[in-house]
Amino acid sequence: MSAAFPSSPPARAGGSLLREGAAALLVAGLVLASGAATAGGTDAAVARGAAAYGRCLACHAVAYDRVGPRHCGIGGRRAGGVAGFAYSDAMKASGLVWTRETLGRFLADPLATVPGTKMTYDGVKDPQVRADLVAYLLSLEPCGRPSGH
């Protein structure tokens, strides 16, 4: 018996390329970055921040306590650190130290950052205005004439 084999070569499935077409969209809209100003804040940022600070004057002053504590010397100070000001327990226990990063976070959403804070203020939603305010706060001189000793 002889069998006749077809002479056609086996069809190969090679040559079809799977193209990966999935493109990842990276949405970075919620990144809290205060990248506009250089370290310490540019003069322009500080000047804009000084103007924006008007919205804080309802409760704050740079050199003395009002509804809120004085802001002189705030850079590097721990939260709740003005002697004699009646902070909330939440602020005193927050463990925060005021830097560009923590000020930015607090000003973005005070109640979320320090739940229970007495600072009943919605926060500064515009990242540019916030960065300017932080630059201004960090530019403030230490408080003069400390009361006490």
By the criterion CB under 6 A, which residues form the site for ligand HEC? 55-56, 58-60, 67-69, 74, 79-82, 87-88, 90-91, 103, 106-107, 117-121, 124, 133
- Residue 54 carries which DSSP code? G
CB of 88 to ligand HEC, least distance (A): 3
The torsion angle over the Cα atoms of residues 96, 68, 30 and 116, rounded to 10 degrees, is: 70
The torsion angle over the Cα atoms of residues 30, 119, 57 and 61, rounded to 10 degrees, is: -110
Decide: 45 and 135 in contact? Cβ < 8 Å.
yes
Closest CB to ligand HEC among 45 and 56?
56
Closest CB to ligand HEC among 33 and 55?
55
CB of 29 to ligand HEC, least distance (A): 22
Other Cβ atoms within 10 Å of 102 Cβ, number: 18
Spell out the residues 6+ positions from residue 107 whose beta carbon is closer than 8 angstroms to its own: 123, 124, 130, 133, 134
CA-based nearest residue to 37, from 140, 142, 129: 129
Closest CB to ligand HEC among 14 and 84?
84
CB of 18 to ligand HEC, least distance (A): 54
CB of 100 to ligand HEC, least distance (A): 12
Closest CB to ligand HEC among 42 and 97?
97
